[in-house]
Structures are given as structure tokens and as C-alpha cells.
A and B are shown apart, each in its own frame.
Chain A
Amino acid sequence: MLIAAKARGIPGALAAPGWSLRWRTLGEQDVQQRTDIRQVGFTDGIQAMAPLLLAVVPFGLVLGVAAAGSAIGGGLGTATSQIIFAGAAQLVTIQLFDEGAAAVIVIVTALVVNIRHLMYSAALAPHFREFPRRSRLLLPYLLTDQAFALSILQFEKIEDPVYRRWFFLGVGLGLWLPWQGATIAGVLLGAQIPESLGLEFAIPLVFLVLLIPVIQTRPGLTSALVGGIVAVAAHGAPFHLGLVVGAVAGVVTGVTLERMGEP
């Protein structure tokens, strides 16, 4: 079993053969089989998420440090990791509150940042259809960029709904727990660091990394540039509306370019 898991290397790449191999050997005991699919799915999920933690843990640390040194504070900063559980939206919330933005602007911006979950939800919905009702209500809380990417890949390979459900739980918790740990560690660390170091600059730096994969197409790049330039130009607008105006301009640009048939 260990060899099968190790041989996979890249999460999901060879998971199907490895899994069916184990499934067949255990298939003789009917009662145990069911429990084991759960366990295999859950473990596979945890293992698939593990390499991504290299990127997630520093992100969580930065978030905690930034929260501790900002208007939102360490307590509420930590709570965003449980209440929102979406890194980019949490960072936006922390940064905007620190700049003194109005609550409505913070809420709208954070929700716009998170609107991509609609896409993930739509793509996963057919696979979740066979899950029990309670899972369909609770599991989406754990839906993140990473959980989505790993599950959609794995769901194409393995159709068993029990396996899928436990795989998603493994992936979800495999991210949730380290995220909480990293945020708390960051808050504790941040409380020790003087404000003069300008650590809040780490927030746009993280966004810079998130920006790279989404500007690989020409409309994507133009959309980001227009969004940025309009936001800069509209900086003087009240209530931080510049950010919202810039974002809308960027989306309109991207959609228009794609409609016009740009690659």
C-alpha cells in the first residue's frame, strides 16, 4: 500500500491504477471494503494536498503577520481563517480595513474576489450529486482553489461516490488545519515585529504571485493592466471606490477582448 502511494508521486496522476489494485486485494472482505474506500480516499486526499502546503503555509504566515500589525488585529485576523477560509479575500479584508475603507466596500470587494467559487461549485456539482444531503451542505465550506484543482482531477479518474466524498474531505481538511496553524503562528510572530519594517507590503507581494497564472492570455493580461491603471487613476475616489471601478473596468476589458476573438 505504501509503495502504491509512493509510486504516484504527482497527486492523482497514477492514482486510479494504484487505487484499484488496493481495492481488489481488499474486495474479498465485503464489510471491510466500504470502510476502506473511505480511508483510502481520505488518505489520498491528504497526500495529494501535502505538496501544496509548501505554498500555503508561508501565505498563511504572511496573513497572520499582516493581521497582527493592522487595524483588524490578531484576534479577528485569526477568526477570518475559520469564518472566511479564503486567503485572497482574507488579505483584501485585512488591507482594506487597515486603510480605513468603508465596511460596504470591504464586503463587496472580498465577495468579488471570492466569486470564482461559483465556477468551482458549478464544475463540481455533477460529482456531488450522489453525495448524501449533509455532505452536500457541509463539504462546500472546504472548497478552495487547491481543493477544487485536486478533486476535479481525481474525480475524472475515480467514480466511486464514497471515495470521492472522502477524498474531498481529505483534501479539504488537509488544507484547513495547516491554514489555521499558519495563521495563528503568523499572528504570534507578527506581534513581535515592529511596524516600521513595513510588513504590510507582503500583501501585494502575495497577490503578485497569484496574478502570474491568470495573465497568461492576452485578454487576461490586458484585463489586469486596465484594472490596475483605472484603480490608480481613480485612487482619489471616496470609500476606496477606485478599487471597485478598476476591477469592473478590467472585467469589461477582458470580456470585450475575448468577444472580439483575441486569443
Chain B
Amino acid sequence: MWISVAVIGAGTYLTRLSFIGFFGEREMPRWMELPLRYVAPAVLGAIVLPAIVQPEGVIELLPAVNPRFLAGVIAAVVAYKWRSVSLVVAVGMGSLWLIEWVF
């Protein structure tokens, strides 16, 4: 795990350095720019959706079996309206515990 973290750290530094350090005068080519714009939504979607609909590996939407789906939906509404990390984490965790307690 330490080695992986070191590789990720080095790779991250290189992406940060890239145009500043190596390509100085060059502009970013368009074929690179377009896909980069969709990396964030695609990766985040691919992380978030499985984490709330199938935390145990099987798709479950019933709050009694998988409280994370309902808690995630509530948190999504709060995220959409207020965009505050602390608020969303507080509401999301709060709903999770409440749903677990109710069922």
C-alpha cells in the first residue's frame, strides 16, 4: 500500500508539473481537452452510484435492507441545494443512523 501511495503521489505531481514544467510553450491539444472535461462527472458517478445502491454488492433499494440508498437520496437533495460538505455529511450520516434505528 505504501508503494501504491508513493506511485500515486509521483503521478499526481507529474500531472501538476506537466505543462508548467515540460511543455512550457505548448497549448493543450483539443483532443486531450474534451475528454478531460468529462473525467470528473464520469468517475464520480461511477464511485457514488454503486456506493449507495449496492454497498453489499447486490442492488438493494429498500431502506430496511439497504439504508444507504434512502440516506444517499436525501443527501443528494441537500448537496444540490446547499453544496456544503459539512452539511451533506452531517445530514447523510444522520439519515443513515435514523433509518437504521427505525428499521
Chain A residues close to B by CB (< 8 Å)? 54-55, 58-59, 62, 71-72, 76, 79-80, 83-86, 88-89, 92-93, 95, 97, 103, 106-107, 109-122, 124-125, 128-129, 136-137, 139-141, 143, 197-199, 201-215, 219-221, 223-232, 235-236, 242-243, 246-251, 253-255, 258-259
Contacts and interface: CB of A to CB of B under 8 A. Distances in A.
A164 B25 CA distance: 19
Contacts of A255: 34-35, 38
- Chain B contact-residue range equals 35 or more
Contacts of B89: 58, 62, 202, 205-206
Closest 10 CB pairs of A and B: A250-B42, A228-B49, A254-B38, A246-B46, A224-B45, A83-B9, A227-B45, A231-B46, A204-B51, A227-B42
Given A112-B39, A221-B41, A223-B42, A119 B47 contact: no
A227 B46 contact: yes
A143 B54 CA distance: 34
A232 B1 contact: no
Interface in B45-103: 45-55, 57, 59, 68, 71-72, 75-76, 79-80, 83-86, 88-89, 92-93, 96-97
Nearest to B2: A76
Given A55-B84, A107-B7, A202-B92, A125 B42 contact: no
Contacts of A59: 85
A209 B89 CA distance: 9
Most buried by A among B6, B23, B47: B47
A210 B68 contact: no
29 contacts: A72-B1, A83-B9, A93-B5, A93-B8, A106-B4, A110-B12, A114-B11, A114-B12, A117-B18, A124-B20, A125-B20, A129-B25, A137-B17, A140-B16, A143-B16, A201-B71, A202-B92, A204-B47, A208-B92, A209-B79, A209-B85, A211-B48, A221-B41, A227-B42, A227-B49, A235-B50, A250-B42, A251-B38, A255-B38
A119 B33 contact: yes
A204 B54 contact: no
Contacts of B92: 201-202, 205, 208
A141 B24 contact: no
